[in-house]
Every structure is written in C-alpha cells, then in structure tokens.
Amino acid sequence: MINMKSKALIFVILAVMLSSTLVLAGCSGKSNSGTSSGQTIKIGWVAPLTGACANDGQQMLNGAKLAVKEINASGGISGKQIELSPQDDKSDPKEAANIATKFTADSSITAVLGNYNSSCVLSEAPIFEQAKLPVIHVGTSPVISQQNFQYLFRISVTDAFQSGIVTQWLFDEGHKNVGIIYENDDYGRGIKDAVTSDMASLGGKVAGGWSYELGQTKDYTSLLTSAKNAGSDSLFIAGLYTEGALIAKQMPTVGLDVPVYGTDGLYEKSLITLGGSAVEGFHVSGLFTPNDTRPNIKSFIDAYKTAYNDTPGTYAALDYDAMKLLAKTIAAVGTDHDKLQAALSSMTTPYEGVTGSITFDQHHDAKRPSMEKLTVKDGQWVLYQK
Amino acid sequence: MSLNKLIQYLLIITVLAVVPLVVRSDYVLHILVTIAIYGILVLGLEIILGQAGLFSLGHAAFYGMGAYTSALLVMKLGFPLWLAAIGAMIMTAIFGAALGFPVLRLRGDYLAIATLGFGEIFRLILTNWDTLTHGPMGLPGIPRPHLFGATPFNRVEYYYFIVFFFLVSLFLVYRISGSFLGRAFRALRDDDDAAEFMGINTTKYKILAFALGGVFAGLAGSFYAHYITFISPDTFTYLDSEMMLAMVFLGGAGTVIGPVIGTIVLLLFPEVFRFLLEWRMLVVGVVMVVVMIYRPQGIWSADVHWPKFKRRSLALAEPRK
C-alpha cells in the first residue's frame, strides 16, 4: 500500500513538473518565434498595478498607452506598430525579478519601461544588465546612480535634485529652522539626508527629523508635537500624498501652524481630495502642472482627459515622455539593444517632453534644468507666485 | 530500497537533470529555480507547522535572516560563499531556537501572533540598523558564486545547484518525518499533554522544530541573496510568511510532499495567469478558496487515494466490511 501511494505521489510530481515546464516553455516559445523583425515593435512595461502604489502605476500605464496610441495613429515607427506588453510587479522585488527574466527571455522585446519602486529597479537591474536590455525607469533612489548600470536610464528626477530645489526655495522664503517628517524607507530617508545637508550648506538649521511607517502610521500628533516643541518654523514632508494629507489634517490639532514644503511625492490630485482645505498653501516641487498652457503640454493633457476622463499626474507624464523618447530613439537607430543604449546615453540635443527637456548624465539620470514650483490655492494646483 | 523505487527516484533525477538541456528559456529556468528556493523554505515550515503543529507566521524573517547573514558575511567580512551559507544556516538555527524559548507556553492563535511580532521586529531591525544592513535602500551588488574558475554562475548552474539542495532537503525532511523525531513532532501536534505523558520532552522538541525549520529557511535565503544579488527589507515581508503558510496548507500540512505541491501550484498559477494583469491574484485567490472548500485537508493529504489505486489497495490490504 505504501508503494502504491508513493507511486501515485511520484506520478503527481512528475505530471505537475512536466506539464508546468511544457506550459511555460510553450508560452515563451511562442513569443520567441515572433522576433522583432515582425510587424510590431514590442515594448515591455512593468510597474505596480496592485498594492499600495497601484494609483501611480495605473497612471504610468495610462501615460504609456496614450503615447503608444498616438505613435501608432501617426503610422508607427517606420511603418511598424508599437505593442505594449504590461506586467504587474505588485511593488515586490521578487516579483520584479520574475518579470525581468520573462522580458529578457523574450527576444521580441526591444526595450522596457520600468519600475516605480526603487527596490524593484535594483532587483531587476542585474538581470537587464546581463541581457543587455535597455530600460527607462522612474525610480528615485540615489543608490541606483551609485551602481552605474549601463542599460538603466532614469527619466524621473533624483530625490537629491528635487530636495535641493525645494530646500533653496524654503530658505529663500525666510525659513531657517525646518522640521522634517519622513517616510521610513529609501525614498523618505534619501530626501531627509539631502535636505539636511543642503540646509547646512545654506546656513540654516534642521529642527529635527521624525519618521513614520508608510501605510501603517495614521496618528501623527506625537510627531507634530515634537516638531512644534523643537521650534520648527516650517515643515518638510518627505513622503507621499496620502500621508501628506493626514499630516495636514492633524497639524491644527496640536496647534502647529507653519508652512509645509515637499517634493513631487505630494504632488497629486488626491492630496487635495483627501486633505481638503487643510492642504491649502502646500509648497511642492513638480515636473508638470495640469493647467500648463504651453501647446505640447496642453495637447497631452487634453488627449489624456479624453482618453481616461481624468487629469494626468506626474507619473502619467513621465511614462508618456519615456515612451515617446524611446520611440524617437528607435526610429533613429533601430531596434538593436546596444545601439539603443548608445543612442540614449549619448544624447546631445535634449528631448523636449511634457515634463521638460531631458538628457542623461554619466550615471544615466535625467538631467533637467529646473522644476516647477507649485502650491495649492482654492483647492487647485497652481504655479507658485510670490 | 526496492529496485522499483530506485528506478523511480532515478527517473525523477534524470528528468530534473535534463530539463535545462531541453528548455533553453531563461525565464522557465528562473521559475524552476524560484520553485526550488520556495520548496526548501516551505519544507522548513513543514517541519514547524506541518509536523510539529506550531503555527508560525514569521518564516519570512528566517528567510531574510539567511539572506542578510550570508550577504553581509561575504560583503563585509570577505567570507567564501559556502562558508557564508553555512553561517547563515547556523544563524537562523540559533534564532529559531531563540524564538522557540519565549513562545513555548503559547499555542495556536497566540503563537501565531508572537511569531508575527518576531517577523515585524526583524523587518524593523533591517530598516533601522543602517550601519549594518544599509537600511531600506537594501544591499545591491551581492557577489555571485564561482565554481572552478573565474566566471560567475549562469542560470543553468544555479538551477543544478538549487535543485540539488532541494532534493537533499526533501530527502532530509522525509527522513526526519519518518524517524523518531518526526513521530515526536506529530505527537506534539496532536496532543502535547499526551506526548509529554509518553515521555517526550516537549520543550526540547518544540525548540528543535523551530531550529530545524530555521536551517532550511537560512539555506534558501542564502541562495536567494546570491542569485538575485539584491536584497532589501521589503523582499521579506509578512505577506511572504502568509504565502508560505498558504503553500503548506494548500498542499496538505504534515505530508512533506504536499507543501511542495502547494509551492508549485502557488508559484506557477500567478506566472501562467500573467496576461490577466491586475486580475491575476484574484484568480489565484479563487483557486485557493475552491481548493479549501473541496479539500480542506490540502491537495495532498494522508488520505489520498487515486481511484485506480484505491480499489486495488483495498482489495489487497483489508477485507471489505
């Protein structure tokens, strides 16, 4: 009887293992046969569509899809249509590694529009690097630049660059003792460190730094009380919009009434929806405003509104730019991975996108001349005027 | 071992050995490597949860501890890789035992909460002990293993390596389950008062279960770190502990092979359903709910008889009533 059972057991393992391998091999075999010499140019897309960062991920997908639609409508790239192959990484570095190998094993993928979370970027980077597949991502961590990956390109701004601009801004407004409330992860800490060092070099002081856990901390009164007791004359929130709105709502309860500054993590329509009148007067850096009147930006915003019935956020604009930039480069040098990499890393004339003009520096980070200064006025994001 | 069994084992090993020669896709190999890593992890949890019945929600912490220990030993102290892997296993065994002590008096839900707390503490230590763990930025650039020469492992070598360790782990857990140790664990699970009455030192065996489970998690973690070459605190979250728990229960706790089947199912389904994008995990959830409704004891459990075998074995083994 034991023998019977172990037979059944072995049979099941074998069946499962074999069929799974066959199914998987079948899937990838199919995509391998359709090489990039076919009728379409395939671009991989990966970011979170579920989990805590799903909102920005969905925006990125919308932005990329809109760009693809426009390119295809105008005849594609030298007659070839672009096909987006989206994948959901759940903000999980393990999942991201799975997706990266899936993309690299598929020879029809020309390039990849990459991850939102820096930890996912870092877990995928060695895989893309080994397969020599060019990736344009929107991660923000400074660690990515330190690693000097050759095939990775960052289209978003680094935390250090942004915090430099905002710190200068708040210093110019006459605030010399800033309290920093930061998210306890690579994003928040990166900004906190940058603000601290920038403030020191400008001659100001940092009243203190207080951290919270993303998605877990709901009560900020103790953080805000310590910020008040430390004599902060302004607050810097190094975090995302949901937390920003919560902090803004809880500030009056401890009697803290100081101007609030932040980076583009706060710059999101949802900040106003969630925070209401409490977020009035927030000072935030951004790449892009939805009420910009310059023609190329306006046409993007209008097209986005018609397609998705929603105002685009920064990440929608970033992936729109990334896709357009990629298409432009492919049109110039073809689908060869190495030529694409070379063309992207040695861009001489900046690409004029909806998020400003872009070239890549020696670390493959987007070099941008400046950022927009934005504020909330009457429940709307507007350009800041003194 | 009968000749018949020997042939069967050889057959499995041959199939596993031939796979990389037939399947040229890196992606398929990567998925198989992932299954093997999780297989080892879940075999560790099978000892703690399936055999000894200790409800642990902190297994991802052991996994992470193995990964970090191994990576840090190599990167900061310049240990050779194999030694770092052994170091990782010793570390997780020690911490497994250390976790065993304070939770000795806890059972069921209370034990689950205590182990959950252990997992969270571990994650917070990873996040906040910057000088050692590089904080939330994670550890990039972990060296890859080399074998007889200068070139780092390619995916096929990784595959053979991890499949070897997986088979060894499977064999060990199988032997543990059939030995005095396994019977003591199961006695603990079923009724620890009765077990103590029968002369089983419950303290000793509970701690041993955690330590043994930790060793397997340490091995898996060490391999993961040197395979992906990047680890960060959000690689080893509470959700992963939950996932491993689901693998054990879905496959059939206490059957050794069941959890491995659970692992294969729960790792393959999300990959196969990738084209569904954000609906994918919903489908996986539905599959789990359906399995739990129709087979609450798991896919593979002690009472598995396939129809064909059932008739014959009944006829052979026991007279009809």
Tokens of A148: 């000097």
Residue predicted with more confidence, B107 or A9: B107
Please, which residues bridge with residue A285 across strands? Answer: A373
Domain boundaries, chain A: 40-157+293-367, 160-286
Give B273→chain A minimum CA distance, Å.
11
Other beta carbons within 10 angstroms of residue A363's beta carbon come to: 17
B30 and A97 within 8 Å at the Cβ level: the answer is yes
B160: amino acid identity, one letter:
Y
Alpha-carbon gap: A7 to the closest alpha carbon of chain B (Å): 8
Share above pLDDT 70 across residues of chain A, in percent, rounded to a whole number: 90
B27 and A106: CB-CB below 8 Å? yes
Q: Which residue from B16, B261, B281 is facing A12, i.e. has the nearest CB?
A: B261
Query: How far is A293 from A307, CA to CA, in rounded Å?
Result: 19
Q: Is residue A382 less than 8 Å (CB to CB) from chain B?
A: no
* Contact yes or no for B235 and A93 at CB 8 A: yes
| CATH architecture entry for A40-157+293-367 | 3-Layer(aba) Sandwich (3.40)
On the question of a common fold for A40-157+293-367 and A160-286, the answer reads: yes
DSSP alpha helix (H) spans, chain A: 2-33, 54-73, 93-105, 118-131, 142-147, 159-172, 186-202, 221-229, 241-250, 269-275, 295-308, 314-333, 337-345
List chain A residues with CB under 8 Å of B280.
Answer: 88
Q: Specify the pLDDT at position A23.
A: 57
Strand partners, A42: A83, A109
Average pLDDT over residues A75-92: 89
CA distances from A358 to A77, A141, A286, A344, B50 (A): 21, 18, 15, 11, 56
CA distance B204 to chain A (A): 31
From CA B113, how far away is CA B194, in angstroms rounded? 25
Per-residue pLDDT tens over the stretch B116-126:
999 999 998 99
Q: Which tens digits make up the pLDDT trace of A340-366?
A: 999 998 888 888 888 888 889 888 988
Instruction: Provide the ipTM.
Output: 0.84
Task: Kindly report the nearest CA distance between residue B203 and chain A, in angstroms.
Answer: 32
| B235 in A contact zone (CB under 8 Å) | yes
User: What is the tens place of the pLDDT at every residue in A47-64?
Assistant: 999 887 888 899 999 999
Which of B11, B300, B312 comes nearest A4 by C-beta?
B312
Q: What is the pLDDT of residues A296-344, one digit of tens each?
A: 888 999 999 999 998 888 889 999 999 999 999 999 998 899 999 999 9
Contact A360, A137 (CB under 8 A): no
The whole-angstrom separation of Cα A262 and Cα A275 is 15
Q: How confident is the model at residue B89 (pLDDT cuts 50, 70, 90)?
A: very high
CB contact under 8 A, B305 and A8: yes
B131 touches A at CB < 8 Å = no
A49 touches chain B (CB under 8 A): yes
Residue B214 has pLDDT above 90, yes or no: yes
Contact A105 B28 (CB under 8 A): yes
Which residue in B16, B103, B81, B69 sits closest to B215, CA to CA? B69
Q: Which CATH architecture has domain A160-286?
A: 3-Layer(aba) Sandwich (3.40)
Q: Which of B30, B134, B154, B265 to mutate to test the interface with A (most CBs of A within 10 A)?
A: B30
Check residue B37 and give its pLDDT.
Answer: 95
Contact call for residues A261 and A163 (beta carbons, < 8 A): no
Q: Which residue of B has its CA nearest to A146?
A: B140
Work out the number of other CB atoms within 10 angstroms of the CB of residue A54: 17
With an 8 Å Cβ cutoff, is B304 touching chain A? yes
Task: Using a CB–CB cutoff of 8 Å, tell me whether B10 touches chain A.
Answer: no
Residue B47 DSSP one-character state: I
Residues A189, B136: C-beta atoms closer than 8 Å: yes
Q: Assess B6–A contact: CB distance below 8 Å, yes or no.
A: no
